[in-house]
Structure 1
Amino acid sequence: MHASHAPLAPAHRKPGAGLLFLVLSGTLWGTGGLTGSLLSLNSALPPLAVAAYRLAVGGALIIFFLALIGRRLPRGRTAWGRITTVGVLSAMCQACYFAAVSLTSVSVATLITIGAAPALVLATESAVGRRRADRWSVGPICLALAGLGLLVGVPIGGLTAPAMLGGAGLALLAAGGFAAITLIGTSAVPGLDEMTTTGFGFAVGGLFLIFLAEPTVGMGFDPSVTSITLVIMLGTVPTAVAYTLYFRGLRTVAASTAALVALLEPLTGALLAALMLDDHLGAAGISGAALLAAAVTIAAMAPSGRLR
């Protein structure tokens, strides 16, 4: 598809294909935690710098691919407005999430960020009349929250009240950023396809985070073969490919359903940690994984709630 062509309208894509794109994106996102952790351990990069490299490298790789296939630069104020919005929201989401992790823990930040996003999307869709809050939407969200809590746990021991409140607030901001990306991704911009949006949007977000990280935590690391490989993997699989698939899926699937399918990220991450890092799930973790899988399945099977 050339840059001069508008993205396909929702009516021209099968909903099943959109759901498949979302499932693939959620699964690929699950590799990000493992890859990012390995990169941080191998290069001693702080989390904010890892997030900056993730967006910047992912965006640069997509732009390079677009140049190879002869795709033209985006044109028009509307297209660049969408790209800038995606970039700023992506940077905000990454920065707030990692800041929440530093104040609380990975478990608490993940629970609040990923758990709150579907609820925020559904509340917004209901408020603007795009979808009614019924048992097909509220039920899977409650099931998913219970499953996520069991999967990641909520270790609050040792956390002070200010740290917990601050971390929770930052995690909610991250959830709001992801919810906003999800909601705006359901509407197409003429002449702007998903890959172009992702590439240039992440380049903008990556540059924003680099300017934030460089004077504070630093961006330097030892460029070994392993660290460079991990940077490229982090920018490619859970970032460039996963988000491109996510934006494609949003064109035919309700935003609240898409946010629920994104819960495949912590599920995949937990399974990968168990397989590759010998971080075995206990009884609670296995129960949580089963509840998450059930919530995603119910959301996928539910009748469409979007008003056409």
Structure 2
Amino acid sequence: MTHVSVRRGLLYVSIAATAWGTGGAAGALLHRAGGLGPVPVSFWRFAAGAVMLLLASRLFGLGRATDLKQTTGLEQNSDLERSIGLKRNTGLGRVTGLGRITVTGVAMAVYQTAYFAAIAESGLAVATVVTIGATPVLVAGGARLLLGERLGAAGLGAVAIALTGLAMLTLDGGSATFSVAGIGWALLSAAGYAGVTLLNRSSAGEPYATALGGFVVGGLCLLPVALAQGLLPQGDPLGSWSAIAYLGAIPTALAYGLFFAGLAAVRATTAAVISLVEPVGAAIIGMLLLGERFTSQAVAGAALLLAAVGLLTLGERRDSSLSR
């Protein structure tokens, strides 16, 4: 895998989070145009993403390993590791190759399904806040214990600011419905996403090969439920397949490939917090395309979230410069 600088890694993760923010609108369009439930939508997202990455690998050579370290997932980013004390020789770090891809795919299927179950139990706002909000907390704890990443007081403060902004943005103007089952599903979704982040940070193999394998495994896990709920889209075929193609290309193939590539250079917690800009992008799309409006609370929440992301980004680049 080509060496990724911290600056480029931050850019990759930011683009991935922005692309993920468009996935909800595309999924909603697919639901309306094709009458598909959430699990079939997730299946088609993974299936189309796998096809897109497979085509990209044939056309552009993505995912081809060039040496033994790449194929085993043991290549290291020495500059950043020295600055944050990253420990790859851990239980997570020894999960390489096919094992890492399999675990990644299963975890992706789990957190997709659990997130939709949380929405069904507690509604979109609560499911989003708990799932996306709990993820950086779980990643920060796991990264400290398993990878030796040191975030520091300023970094922890930035995480707290980001979570406050997320709650202000997502819970704005709606009624929150709390249930034990909904919170449990949301936490399971967060744990799955955190596991994918930590695993692929600890043993960074070829990012596009990892994403491709994860999509295949995740799609196979979702296929039985998708078949039971109705796999093929009904209604508007052009709108349905256009939405599937977009879901596979942008918020799936592009986003996950860049996210895994960015994890080679960026702290796991920083990547998780940058991913919090996803609901900001979704809110902007809702305002521009769906006629939704931002209240002052939502604007303040988005500003806090983006400010926290900026603080962590500056800290990441500063630590990288000091290590040289």
* TM superposition score category, shorter chain reference: 0.7 to 0.9
Q: Which residue in 2 is equivalent to 1:225?
A: 238
Q: Which residue in 1 is equivalent to 2:283?
A: 270
Q: How far off is 1:81 after superposition?
A: 1.1
2:7 maps to which of 6, 13, 16:
16
Deviations 1:191-236 (A, max 9, x none): x511111012111101211122222x22222261111000100111
Q: Which residue in 2 is equivalent to 1:3?
A: none
1:52 maps to which of 20, 43, 57:
43
2:146 maps to which of 92, 106, 128:
128
Q: What fraction of aligned residue pairs are identical, expressed as a percent?
A: 35
SS of equivalent residue, structure 1 residue 281: coil
TM-score (norm 1): 0.88
Structure 1 unaligned spans of 5+: 1-6
Q: Distance in 2 between matches of 1:97 and 1:276?
A: 24
Q: How far off is 1:188 after superposition?
A: 3.9
Deviating more after overlay: 115-124 vs 43-52: 43-52
Q: Distance in 1 between matches of 2:283 and 2:112?
A: 20
1:184 aligns with 2:199: yes
Structure 2 unaligned spans of 5+: 66-70, 73-94
Q: How far off is 1:66 after superposition?
A: 2.0
Q: How does 1:1-308 map to 2 (within 5 A)?
A: 7-8=1-2, 12-69=3-60, 78-128=96-146, 130-153=148-171, 155-156=174-175, 159=177, 164-188=179-203, 192-215=205-228, 217-222=229-234, 224-303=237-316
Deviating more after overlay: 69-78 vs 267-276: 69-78
Deviations 1:255-285 (A, max 9, x none): 0000000011111110111011111111111
Letter in 2 for 1:221: P
Q: Distance in 1 between matches of 2:296 and 2:96?
A: 50
The count of corresponding residues between Structure 1 and Structure 2 is: 291
Deviations 1:39-84 (A, max 9, x none): 1111111112111111121112212332445678987894211111
CA 62–72 in structure 1, closer or farther in 2 if over 3 Å, else same: closer
Check conservation: 2:63, 2:208, Cα contact below 8 A.
no
Q: Distance in 1 between matches of 2:42 and 2:260?
A: 20
Check conservation: 1:132, 1:305, Cα contact below 8 A.
no
Deviations 1:129-179 (A, max 9, x none): 61235222211111111111111107455x4x6xx1101111111111111
Q: How far off is 1:182 after superposition?
A: 0.7
Letter in 1 for 2:107: L
SS of equivalent residue, structure 1 residue 280: coil
User: What value does the CA root-mean-square deviation take over the aligned residues?
Assistant: 2.3
Q: Distance in 2 between matches of 1:48 and 1:170?
A: 15
TM-score (norm 2): 0.84
Q: Distance in 2 between matches of 1:251 and 1:224?
A: 39
